[in-house]
Structure 1
Amino acid sequence: MTFDAAEHAARRARLDEAMTDRGLDALLMFAPDSHYWLTGFDTFGFCFFQCLIYANGKAHLLTRSADLRQAQLTSDIEDIRIWTDGRDDPAAMLSDWLRELGIAGRIGVETETHGLTAANGMRLFAALPDLVEASDLVPTLRLTKSPAEIACLRRAGELTDKGYEAALPLIAPGADEGEILAALQGAIFAGGGDFPANPVVIGSGERALLCRSATGRRRLDPQDQLTLEWAGVWRNYHAAAMRTVIIGPPTDRHRQLHDAAREALLACEAALTPGARMRDVFAAHADTLDRHGLSAHRLNACGYAQGARYAPSWMEPQMFHAGADTVIGPDMAFFLHMILMDSDTGTAMTLGRTSLTTAEGAEPLSRLPLELDVG
């Protein structure tokens, strides 16, 4: 297991208190990051029906045979039951198990997760129609990191830098995107890191303006641009970063956008202080870029919380946008990305990194300089 028994006991105590405050007698957990946070259970089999019942300080797992040994090896869950493919109705089994455990009253459930498909959700509510929505409960607790989690995030930040430093020398005219990606991800793996929860974003030419990865690789032209969004990952904890590297002489537009992105990133980090709301940080992003006349080229969000996440996304649910009312506290981690995509001129520019919140303000987990990189 990644964390010791004392760490998990502290997390369960926090969850017990939060459930009491909300009047919940039990919580049905379907989010894989909730399973990992509470018990250490580490798998990717959550695309099938897989529920962790938490009540009275104890965890009970209903899963498939493929995840039995996974749970036994990676978690502290002692009570595990298996539903059989093609024979059992796991929702009905879950309902029966709750009665057997004597669990009644208000039962919360996590629905806002890729760990519960719409089809399985319909089966779940058909069997248990009185469940109470509680998707925000564990993610809110997970926002504040323990010292052990912060150590994981710091290590993830180190791997973020190692990956980029391995890739940057390869970014030059004629370079193959696949080789650049292999160097970046290979350095993270060589450092003991994990797979990221979503694919690394890599795109050049017109694809440098994309915010997502897409299949197919190309070689860089003598005059080109390459956007990378990647994350160092340690024990599933992510520290994402983002850069656009220019191949050949940067255009004036590249320099203008980079200067604006750097100014906006520093303004956002200055606003990333305990007591502020996430919308205040977004306002620093929007105000800075709009002042540069870039309102048409920026996004409607500028980052999100970071932690231990599973596919298909390393994004935590708490995001920086105009309506975000989450209060920032100490010992939280956030990825801030300044993304400028000028489709009029075909110019891409991005700049981003992950920071911890401290009493003194934002502490970047990356030591990479913020200057414009030219390959």
Structure 2
Amino acid sequence: MTTGTPAPFTADDYKARMDRAARSAADAGLAGLLVAPGPDLVWLTGYQVPADTERLTLLVLAAGQEPTLVVPALEAPDAAKSAGASAMTLRDWTDGRNPYELTAPLLDVSGRFGVSDNAWAMHLLGLQHTLPDTSYVSLTEALPMLRGVKDAAELERLAAAGAAADATYEEIKKVTFGGRKEKDIARELADLLRQFGHEQVDFTLVCSGPNGADPHHSPDDRVVQDGDMVVLDFGGLKHGYGSDTSRTVHVGEPTDEERRVHDIVREAQTAACDAVRPGIACQDVDRVARKIITDAGYGEYFIHRTGHGIGVTTHEPPYMIEGEEQPLVPGMCFSVEPGIYLPGRFGVRIEDIVTVTEDGGRRLNSTARDLAIVG
């Protein structure tokens, strides 16, 4: 298991990210980027807004222009302490002033800007009212790979998060499943993730028996029964970077059909992971997994994409799905998680995080992918 605390990102790291983002925006024909509180702002500056505030906070990035963070005056001291503060200018505003008029001089009055996806509509409409000739496009649409390729320090954090999730799985297999509520087992998963270093738990899915046919079933009061297949899917953030893994276990001895379905999913997942290499399209990873499941007669029961990117959030571009022609490049990290879901009966999913290397792919999860028997 990866141990220790990685060195923090520096002001130079954040400056390099902001400079690269501004250049990428210019290359995409944008006048700049407008980044609201959320994962993009944290990744670019290291600044985590203290609360979900309604007051405008906005990072303005444009090629040839000093990065500027427009921030409420009462939050400016916290912003000034962020790791990337020295790489940007702070422009604060006080209640009673119009923050959009304060921001307007930083923008090309007729430019087209990329806007982070989680920006408040209130703020975007305020900017449009102040600068009616500007236009906007979502950051994911304009620069889907802004955070998609990870550097060595980011990969170290992702590996540590993956190792912590693996340790969690090894421990949860030791607990009693039969006769207990799904939500109680989910609570244990969350406790274990924190025990192994996660500062944030995003999800702990425990999907037993017929609930396993719902890929995003929220654990509830259902009591796990002897003979249940149980899909476990859990993850969160460690050192600011994500984990996400799925394994399927069985309470007692499985039937021949349950073993067969699990074997098909495992074959599909292994083949898709083995297919990862630079130059192939994201959709090719999906195609490999989907063909195996379809050829086995279960294609209609594989009802979601094969994978999603992961980084400072547990779901982000790129996506492993038909129609996504983005080629894989070294440093990309994403899940590979095919599944089969039989309505009213059971489901199976197996998931690892994979990073693209110079000559193939490397899994960041290493726990056994066989059908584990639990009590």
Q: TM-score range by the shorter chain?
A: 0.7 to 0.9
User: Against the structure 1 CA distance between its residues 362 and 125, is the aligned structure 2 distance closer, same or farther, given a 3 Å change threshold?
Assistant: same
Q: Confirm whether residue 269 of structure 1 aligns to residue 277 of structure 2.
A: no
> Given the two structures, how large is their TM-score scaled by the length of structure 2?
0.87
Counterparts of 1:134-283 in structure 2, within 5 Å, are 135-136=139-140, 137=142, 139-196=144-201, 198-214=202-218, 216-283=220-287
Q: How far apart are the structure 2 equivalents of 1:65 and 1:215?
A: 42
Q: Confirm whether residue 116 of structure 1 aligns to residue 119 of structure 2.
A: yes
Q: How far apart are the structure 1 equivalents of 2:357 and 2:244?
A: 19
Q: In the alignment, residue 218 of structure 1 is paired with which amino acid?
A: R
**1:217-267: CA deviation from partner (whole Å, max 9, x where unpaired):** 333222222221112522221121112211121122211111111111111
Matched with 1:324 is 324
Structure 1 window deviating more from structure 2 (241-250 vs 20-29): it is: 20-29
Contact 2:306 2:336 in 1 (8 A): yes
Structure 1 window deviating more from structure 2 (265-274 vs 162-171): it is: 162-171
Q: Confirm whether residue 9 of structure 1 aligns to residue 15 of structure 2.
A: yes
User: Against the structure 1 CA distance between its residues 164 and 66, is the aligned structure 2 distance closer, same or farther, given a 3 Å change threshold?
Assistant: farther
Q: Confirm whether residue 71 of structure 1 aligns to residue 75 of structure 2.
A: no
Contact 2:37 2:49 in 1 (8 A): no
Contact 1:199 1:213 in 2 (8 A): no
State the 1:65 CA deviation: 6.5
Q: In the alignment, residue 58 of structure 1 is paired with which amino acid?
A: E
User: Against the structure 1 CA distance between its residues 47 and 249, is the aligned structure 2 distance closer, same or farther, given a 3 Å change threshold?
Assistant: farther
Q: How far apart are the structure 2 equivalents of 1:110 and 1:342?
A: 40
State the 1:9 CA deviation: 2.6
Alignment RMSD, CA only? 2.5
Q: Confirm whether residue 364 of structure 1 aligns to residue 372 of structure 2.
A: no
Structure 1 window deviating more from structure 2 (277-286 vs 40-49): it is: 40-49
Q: In the alignment, residue 262 of structure 2 is paired with which amino acid?
A: H
> Given the two structures, how large is their TM-score scaled by the length of structure 1?
0.87
Q: How far apart are the structure 2 equivalents of 1:68 and 1:76?
A: 13
Q: How far apart are the structure 2 equivalents of 1:165 and 1:108?
A: 47
Question: What residue ranges of structure 2 are gaps of 5+ in the alignment?
Answer: 1-6
Contact 2:277 2:360 in 1 (8 A): yes
**1:109-164: CA deviation from partner (whole Å, max 9, x where unpaired):** 315x2x22444443443333312425135541311111111111111111111221
User: Against the structure 1 CA distance between its residues 308 and 141, is the aligned structure 2 distance closer, same or farther, given a 3 Å change threshold?
Assistant: same
State the 1:166 CA deviation: 2.1
User: Against the structure 1 CA distance between its residues 168 and 60, is the aligned structure 2 distance closer, same or farther, given a 3 Å change threshold?
Assistant: same
State the 1:319 CA deviation: 1.1
Contact 2:93 2:102 in 1 (8 A): no
Q: In the alignment, residue 126 of structure 1 is paired with which amino acid?
A: H
Q: How far apart are the structure 2 equivalents of 1:292 and 1:66?
A: 60
State the 1:334 CA deviation: 0.8
Structure 1 window deviating more from structure 2 (250-259 vs 67-76): it is: 67-76
The structure 2 residue matched to 1:40, chosen from 41, 46, 52, is 46
User: Against the structure 1 CA distance between its residues 12 and 297, is the aligned structure 2 distance closer, same or farther, given a 3 Å change threshold?
Assistant: same
Q: How far apart are the structure 2 equivalents of 1:44 and 1:288?
A: 47
Q: In the alignment, residue 61 of structure 2 is paired with which amino acid?
A: Y
Matched with 1:285 is 289
User: Against the structure 1 CA distance between its residues 139 and 63, is the aligned structure 2 distance closer, same or farther, given a 3 Å change threshold?
Assistant: farther
Q: How far apart are the structure 2 equivalents of 1:4 and 1:269?
A: 33
**1:78-126: CA deviation from partner (whole Å, max 9, x where unpaired):** 5052464xx56xxx52343231x47555351315x2x224444434433
Question: What residue ranges of structure 1 are gaps of 5+ in the alignment?
Answer: none
Q: How far apart are the structure 2 equivalents of 1:83 and 1:162?
A: 48
Matched with 1:125 is 128
